Chain A
Amino acid sequence: MTPKNDLVAPVVNRRNLAEQSARFCFLFCALLAFASLVIIIAFLLIKGLPAIGKIGLWNFLTDTDWNPSNNQFGILSMITATLLSSLGALLISVVIGVLTAVFLAELATAKIARWLRFAIELLAGIPSVVFGFFGLVIIVPFIDRVAGGGGNSLLAAIIILSMMILPTIVSISEMSLRAVPREYKEGSLALGASQIQTIFRVLLPAAGSGVAAAIMLGLGRAIGETMAVILVSGNSPIMPGSLFDRVRTMTANIALEMGYASGLQQEALFATGVVLFVFIMLINGAVTVLAARSGVKR
């Protein structure tokens, strides 16, 4: 991955003080990233673990009641809300995103592809609070009019999240489609398969782990999203029974109550952060494995 320096290494005077200190300086910077990660994890654990100890891990994870004033700290409803909203969003955006990636990689002319890619990059750049605001003024009132109940709902969160993770899924899927060796496609076409058959039977399966990496990355973004969700989801800490129920995600729980919390409630919020973090690290791990397998750069 590096233009190999071994070739030239002997030329370098190893005893040169300036060289050594520069090298040390660069190494130090590189280690700072690692140090940051360690500090973040340490702080989360220091602040979060005592609460888990006091509440009990099992109660914390499986209790559905969140009522800090009564010392009830169960986040099952929020874990459920987080997973449902993220998976719902994935369902929508994977279909649309992967097909868009197919369009970009296989069907579009260079000019159209460039414009569409730019549009999608722009979509990726839109701040999450703008998405949330859009959801608040357009999607929430729309759901309220159609289904009643106020409109702040799981469904609103799903729609907003699916828009937000679309760019991730499109760009990574496209990259992995392009990484499929040309011979696969040419071989398939030469054997008389149609373009559609080639795409769905040969290219997509070959790009499978890259697309899977895209899906996991999208999942990570959806699970971690805060500001957009807070504005549209209604934030009631209850188990969602339908798409139109108000839900509170783990991220929303942290952002909503952090300013007000003290004592055990604050620790419980950090503990929520720990659970969220564990989810994210699992997903990150999956991404790393899948990306390495498909040769896609994140």
Chain B
Amino acid sequence: MKRTKLSEQLLYLAIYGSAALSCTAMIAIIGYIVFKGAPSIDWTFLSSPYKGSQHGIYPMIVTTLYMIGLSLAVAAPIGVCSAIYLNEYAKDGKLVRLIRFATDSLSGIPSIIYGLFGYMFFVTVLQLKMSILSGALTLAIMVLPLVIRTTEEALKTVPAGYREGSLALGASKITTILRIVLPSAAEGIITSIILSIGRIVGETAAVYLTAGMVTRVPGGILDSGRTLAVHLYVLAKEGISFEQAYASATVLLVIIAGLNLLANRLATGIRKKTT
């Protein structure tokens, strides 16, 4: 009896230890980078160009915003419409299984493969060169499965009664979807978009082969640009300045943490509403 007790104690210890370790891993990374990076972040760093003696990250921030806007402009409508089809129209069958297989597969493909594909297809074959457009289209395909799946989840939480009520009142199906179902699922859809923004902001491998690494504020979507994550990669691999690298990493982490917090709060809001 005593021995079981001891081994149980050890197992408890292992469980608590693991939980603590998981937590520590996160704190170690974020803490260390923010600790090293935060002192070198000031307004000049955020707002000046990267040229000559100036080492600001303003162009990278702008490029990242472009990348977010453009990839979402493509992925969000397509993703939401796909989810509507899957949830509101499709009956289980070969087609649905095919689409589901495709989204599952797409979400498992490593980003370097997307990079390879984007480089070949958008940059070379479609002659879009290394540009924000090439990068954004590549990223759009990459986040598409995420948008579809999370939107589907959100649509599922809309009670069937809403639809039935609307239809019973004589509204057409499309009106029901646009006026009743989508607004009810809005928070969930927004969450899916925020999660996608997180992936877009953090992506490197797929972007640096497709959007290039020009450090100027892009003048349009056919210009090449360097996102914040690519900038961090270049700083780290070129060893140009670790101080700048820490600072850029910190900015990146703050953005990601902010997005996560937002998604988290929205998700809690949804849970409260549905229960």
* A–B direct touch in complex (beta carbons closer than 8 A): yes
Residues of A within 8 A of B (CB): 1-5, 7-8, 11-13, 16, 18-19, 22-23, 25-34, 36-37, 39-40, 43-44, 47, 95-97, 99-100, 102-104, 107-108, 116, 118-123, 125-134, 136-138, 163, 166, 170, 194, 196-197, 200, 220, 223-227, 230-231, 251, 254-255, 258-259, 269-270, 273, 276-277, 280-281, 283-284, 287-288, 297-298
B112 interface residue (CB < 8 Å to A): yes
CB distance from B41 to the nearest CB of A (A): 15
Please tell me which one of the listed residues B92, B105, B236 contacts residue A133 in the complex, with CB atoms under 8 A apart. Answer: B236
Q: Which residues of B contact A230 (CB under 8 A)?
A: 237
CB pair B109 A102 closer than 8 Å: no
The docked-state distance in angstroms from the alpha carbon of A2 to that of B209 is: 40
> Contacts A127-B256, A130-B253, A284-B108 given: A31-B18 contact, CB under 8 Å?
no
A100 in contact with B205 (CB, 8 Å)? no
How long is the Cα–Cα vector from A168 to B82 in the complex, in angstroms? 25
Contact status A134-B33, CB under 8 Å? yes
Cβ distance B113 to chain A, nearest Cβ, rounded Å: 6
| Majority SS at the chain B contact face | helix
Per the 8 Å Cβ criterion, residues 170-221 of B in contact with A are 172-174, 177, 198, 201-205, 209
Binary contact readout B83-110 vs A (1 if CB under 8 angstroms, 0 otherwise)? 0111111101000001101111111111
Contact check, A103 vs B18: say whether CB atoms are below 8 A apart. Answer: yes
Instruction: Report chain B residues within 8 Å CB of A255.
Output: 112, 115, 205, 209
**Residue B274 at the A interface, CB < 8 A?**
no
**What's the nearest-Cβ distance from chain A to residue B8, in Å?**
4
The answer to whether B156 and A130 have CB atoms under 8 Å apart is no
**With A29-B82, A100-B18, A130-B232 known to touch, is A284 a contact of B242 (CB < 8 Å)?**
no
A28 to B237, CA, bound (A): 42
Distance of A10 from chain B, by nearest CB (Å): 10
Residues of chain A with a CB closer than 8 A to B117's CB = 39-40, 43-44
| Residue from B158, B163, B174 having most chain A Cβ neighbours under 10 A | B174
B159 within 8 A of A: yes
Known A121-B260, A127-B256, A134-B32; judge A96-B111 contact (CB<8 A).
Answer: no
What residues of chain A lie closer than 8 Å to B29, measured between beta carbons?
123, 126, 130-131, 134, 163
Interface centre among A2, A123, A138, A220 (most CB of B within 10 A): A2
Listed A/B pairs (27) with beta-carbon separation below 8 Å: A3-B158, A11-B168, A19-B173, A22-B173, A23-B89, A29-B77, A29-B79, A31-B99, A33-B106, A37-B102, A96-B21, A99-B17, A123-B22, A125-B259, A128-B202, A130-B253, A133-B33, A133-B232, A133-B236, A133-B249, A134-B33, A166-B22, A226-B204, A251-B205, A258-B209, A276-B112, A288-B104
Measured in the bound complex, the distance between the Cα atoms of B77 and A298 in whole Å is 22
Whether the Cβ atoms of B85 and A29 lie closer than 8 Å is yes
Residues of chain A within 8 A (CB-CB) of B11 are: 196, 200
CB of A270 to closest CB in B, whole Å? 7
The answer to whether B167 touches A280 (Cβ under 8 A) is no
Whether A170 and B22, one on each chain, are in contact in the complex, defined by CB atoms closer than 8 angstroms, is yes
- A27→B237 contact, CB < 8 A: no
User: Which residues from chain B contact A276 at a C-beta distance below 8 Å?
Assistant: 110, 112-113
**Which of the residues B25, B30, B89 comes within 8 Å of A27, measured between beta carbons?**
B89
Interface pairs A-B: 5 shortest CB-CB: A224-B110, A127-B202, A3-B160, A29-B81, A99-B18
A280 touches B109 (CB 8 A): yes
Shortest distance in angstroms between B144's beta carbon and chain A's nearest beta carbon? 6
A132, B163: Cβ atoms closer than 8 Å:
no
Given contact pairs A3-B156, A220-B108, A13 touches B113 in the complex (Cβ within 8 A): no
Q: B73 interface residue, CB < 8 Å from A?
A: no
Contact, CB under 8 Å: B116 / A125: no
- CB pair B204 A227 closer than 8 Å: yes
- A266 to nearest B CB, angstroms? 9
